[in-house]
Amino acid sequence: MKLFSILRKKIDSVESKRQNGDAENQLEKKVLSKNLSDNEWVLKSIYTDCHDVIFRNFILGGNTSAILVYLEGLANIEEIDRSVLTPLMDIDELTPAGTEVIIKQKLTVSKVTPLTTFADIIEQISKGNPTILIDGHSQGISVGLSKSEKRSVEEPIAESVVRGPRDGFTETIGVNISLLRRKIKSPDLKMKSITLGKYSQTQVVYMYMKDIVDDTLVEEVEKRLSRIDIDGILESGYIEEFIEDDPFSPFPQMINTERPDSAASQLLEGRVVILTDGTPFALIAPVTFYSLLQSPEDYYQRFMIGTLIRWLRYCFLLIALLLPSSYVAILTFHQEMIPTTLLLSVAESREKVPFPALIEALIMEITFEALREAGLRLPKQVGSAVSIVGALVIGDAAVSAGLVSAPMVMVVAITGISSFTIPRYNASIAIRVLRFPMIFFAGTLGLLGIMLGILLIIVHLCTLRSFGVPYLAPMAPLKGSGTKDVLLRAPWWSLRQRPHLTGKYNKYRQSRGLRPGPGNEKE
C-alpha cells in the first residue's frame, strides 16, 4: 500500500504540472481585453518574480490610461523616453475612434507592430521591443526599440588567412546578415527566419541564392529545421546534430565558419547558409569531403600556389591518419622493410623501452592530445606556452626514463604538425579520432590491418551523404568538370561551371573567353 501511495503522489504531481503548463499556454494564446486592468493583471501573472520587467503607467490625452511594458537591459531606455513617452504624454486630447491612429502618428519610431494576443506581446517583450497597452482597446502596439550589447567585428581567430578579408561573424544575427549583404548585394540573396527553442526563442535564419540553389535543397533544410523541438538553442552545434544525415559518423556533414567571405562563396555555389543568433559560427550545407580541405585563401593566392598548398594538405592528411599506425605495423610485423642501418638505430633506441610499439604509440598519442586540449582550454596568455613547454619537457623526460623511444616521439610530433594543416577544425578532429583505431589495426594485423582500416573508411565515405549530396563528389561519382577544383585549384578564368550539388542548378557562373593574355581579349 505504501508503494501505491508513493506512485499516486508522483502521478498527481505530474498531472498538476501538466495542467499548469496547459493553463499557461492557454493564457499566452488568450486575446487582449479592452479593459487595461485585466491585461495588466494577466501580464503581471505571467511575469511573476521577474524584477527586470518594467510596467510604466501613464496618461494619454488627460483621461486615457495606458501602460508601457519592457525588459530592462534589452530595451533602449533613452529612446523610450525620447521617442515614446515624451510625445505620447504631450497629447492634449484623444477620441476613442482615432486613438491608435494618433498614437502611431506621434511615435517617432520607424517600426511599429500591432499585437492582438498575449503570445505576441510576450514574443515582442522577449526581443526587447517595448509594448504599449491602452485602456478601451483590445490591441497593443509594439515599438522597435530593442537594444543589445554587440561585439565589434573582428578577424576570426580559428580561420586566419595571410591574404583575404579580416572581418568575421559576431554573436548578433543582424550584424551577420549585414556582413553577408555587403558581400552579395543582389536582391536574389533570399532569407527565411524561424524561431527555435521553447524557452530560448532563438532566431535562426537560413539564406540562399535564388536561381542558383536547388529548390528541393531549400525545402529539405526548412523541413529539418522545422522538426526541431527542444527547450533551447544556445549554439549552432545544437542545430547541426539535429539536421545532419548520419549522426554516428565521425566526419562532419556541415561546414561551420566564422568568415563572411567563405559563407558568401558557398552561397554562390548553390549551398544554404544557416545563421543562429548568439553564435558567430554559421552552418553551411551540403558539404563534401574535399570542401573540408579547402581554405578561403586558396582562391586569393595565384592558382599555382593554391594547387601546391592543396596537394600538401592531401599529403599531410594521409600522414596525420597513417604515420603512427604504419610505424607500429612495420616495427611489430614487418621489420624487413626497414633498411639495416636504420633498423639497428631504432632497435638501439628501443632497447630500454618496456612496452611494445602499440602501447608506446598509444601513450604518446594520448599525451599529445591531452597537451593540445590543455593548450586550448587554458587562458590564451599561458595556453600556448604550457602546450609547447609541456611537450618538450614530457617528451625529453619520457625518452630519458626509457618509457618511449626517440623515433616514436618524432613520429607523434610529425603527426601532430600534419593534423594542424587541415583547415577545418571539425575535419581535423575526425582524423584524430580515426587515428586510434588505425593504430589498433596496425598493432594486431600489421599492414593488412591498415589496409582493412582504409577500406572501411573509404566504404563509409562512399555511403555517406550530406543533404542528398554524395560525400566524395565530384570524384565518386566522377564529374570531370568538378575535378578542376578538387585535384587542382584551376585558375578563375577556367572555373566556368559551378559545382553540381543536387537537382537543377544554374550551370555557368562566368562568361567564356576570360583568359588573360594577348589574343584572348573578350570581344
Task: Assess whether pLDDT exceeds 60 at residue 27.
Answer: no
pLDDT digits (tens, 9 = 90+) for 293-322: 998 888 998 889 989 999 999 999 999 999
Of the candidate ranges 115-119, 144-148, 389-393, 460-464, the one whose mean pLDDT is the lowest: 389-393
The predicted pLDDT at position 209 comes to 92
Answer whether the bond into residue 477 is a cis peptide, omega within 30°. Answer: yes
User: 509, exposed or middle or buried, with CB in 10 Å at 0-12, 13-18, 19+?
Assistant: middle
Q: How confident is the model at residue 522 (pLDDT cuts 50, 70, 90)?
A: low
Question: Where in the chain are the domains?
Answer: 21-143, 173-287, 303-469
Where is average pLDDT lowest: 156-165, 185-194, 249-258?
156-165
Reported pTM: 0.85
Residue 204's closest CA among 291, 274, 273?
Answer: 274
- Once rounded to an integer, what is the mean pLDDT over residues 385-397? 70
Terminal alpha carbon distance of the chain: 95
| 296-313 per-residue burial string, b: 16 or more CB within 10 A, e: under 16 | bbbbebebeebbebbeeb
Helix (H, G, I), strand (E, B) or coil at 470: strand
- Give me the helices (H) in 127-187, please: 173-183
The per-residue pLDDT for range 402-411, each reduced to its tens digit, is 788 888 888 9
Query: Closest Cα partner for 106 from 53, 58, 44?
Result: 58
Give tens-digit pLDDT for 480-507: 777 888 888 888 888 888 888 877 778 8
Q: Which amino acid is at 155?
A: E
User: Cell numbers 600522414 correspond to what residue?
Assistant: 319
What pLDDT, on the 0 to 100 scale, is given for residue 20? 47
Indicate whether 390 pLDDT > 80. Answer: no
Say if CB 422 and CB 313 are below 8 A apart: yes
- Residue whose C-alpha is closest to residue 135's, from 56, 40, 57, 35: 35
Residue of 153, 212, 209 lying closest to 181 (CA atoms): 209
pLDDT tens readout for residues 39-60 = 899 899 889 888 889 999 988 8
